[in-house]
Structure 1
Amino acid sequence: MKFKCFLSLMSFHIANISSVFITFDKFELSYSFTFDKMSYLTEHRLQFISGISVTHCVKECAARTHCKALRFRNRINVCELFASSLQDLTLTTGSITLQEGEQNITKSPCQDNCKYGEVCETNESDVSTCVVKECVNITIPENGFILGNKRDIGKRIRYKCNVGYVESNAEIGTVAECLYTGDWSTFTECIPSKISYMWTTWTEWSTCSVSCGGGVKSRSRTCTIPTVALNGEEECEENMYTGAGASCNKEACTCLP
């Protein structure tokens, strides 16, 4: 596994620093820093860990083959691990960032046996094992987005679609849970929504225009949009209104003497 470190400063100056060699929790690591300004996409964040050192933060990323980058905010001692490579989105100051590039792990307690999605951990008995702790392969739906950025086992996210699109599995729910297997419980696609037009029921007939001699009565209906259907068809006419008339009280009028 290889990484490259970046230290974000107020200046745009770029400079290299000699490699750093550390040993932490049975991990032996070496990496080098470069000064720069970078940031990350938060939807790819795996972990948000507070109150640890930068060395511990680097070790946490090294323990995961699926960790592609990290950001350590040294002013508040916050470590963030990401499943994506560095993204040049916004300027960030006072933080150390690390992406795939030029870091070497010279020794790992799990002997590099952990699979993608597993974390190398050492228990109280000093035994190191590969443990599934996070769901990694999250897929953001095209024409949609995700609410929530927690990836731990048992955590949940929600899929949402942009305006004009609906979730393909909206009827069974769009909340996904991170299972103990490291898989998400569900996924959705955002498909175009079609508006379903429908005629309302006819109104009651109006009162006849005259009491005798032949008149007319009328009734009407309008076109409404009762719901947004996945495969609805436009069923109304273009004017979205229709009316109907009928003759009534056809009996001749009788003149009183």
Structure 2
Amino acid sequence: MLVDSHCHLDYPEFADLADVVRRAEAAGVGAMLTIGTELSRFPAVLAVAEAQPNIYCTVGVHPHEAGKGEMVQLDELLRLADHPKVVGFGETGLDYFYERSPRAQQQKSFRIHIEAARRLQLPLIVHTRDADDDTMAILKDEMKQGAFPGLIHCFSASAEFATEAVELGFYISISGIVTFNKAQNVRDAIKDVPLERFLVETDAPYLAPIPFRGKPNEPAYTRYTAAKLAEIKGVSEDEIETVTTDNFYRLFTKAPRPAEGF
């Protein structure tokens, strides 16, 4: 089976969760990770995860939300992560493209999430856009204070960034962007990333892969991203399916691995 390692199933596009799950299962996607973006939305995220045995979730504050209201507190992240369905922290990180929150607030929130990941040794889901230098600087600085697991979500950075992330022990998660005609830079950047460091994701309902670009994305479409990754790496789709799923459960150690999907 495949695992969609990043989607947003609490969004209104997925009101009929049972149908989403059925289509995913038919496409060979046997598990999904639905991602927290605001603490105020966390109950809805958790409810989605609790509704299906092979949906997991994370808790966190997206960089867009980092400057809204009170700063996220470490104790609250740790408390919410005590739930068995919560398997990681995020998404967090830096977004200097939209800058919907002040940079200083984004950076502070990012470091708080990192400390939570370090304390519990649960993976950190990192969002970085137009902020790769600061993102990597913070990751390296924090890693000196104690190791923590994590991944770069929706990878769209440089080959150098990918190499540095892998050297830190991070995984690289590939989205539908890799199928876009104008994304040759992304395809080039991941050519030398070892297979044992890849995950695949949709970021649904965003970034639908070709041939669905422009339409709402959904977990069933993970297979199209996996197929493109297989082409880039020169291996079979079956190998990508096996490797990326093994990688997911190696990273997300708190997620129980299903025997046969849903």
TM-score range, shorter chain: under 0.3
Answer 1 or 2: which has greater strand percent: 1
TM-score, L = length of structure 1: 0.21
Answer 1 or 2: which has greater helix percent: 2
Higher relative contact order (CA 8 A, sep 6+): 2
Q: In terms of Rg, which structure is larger? A: 1
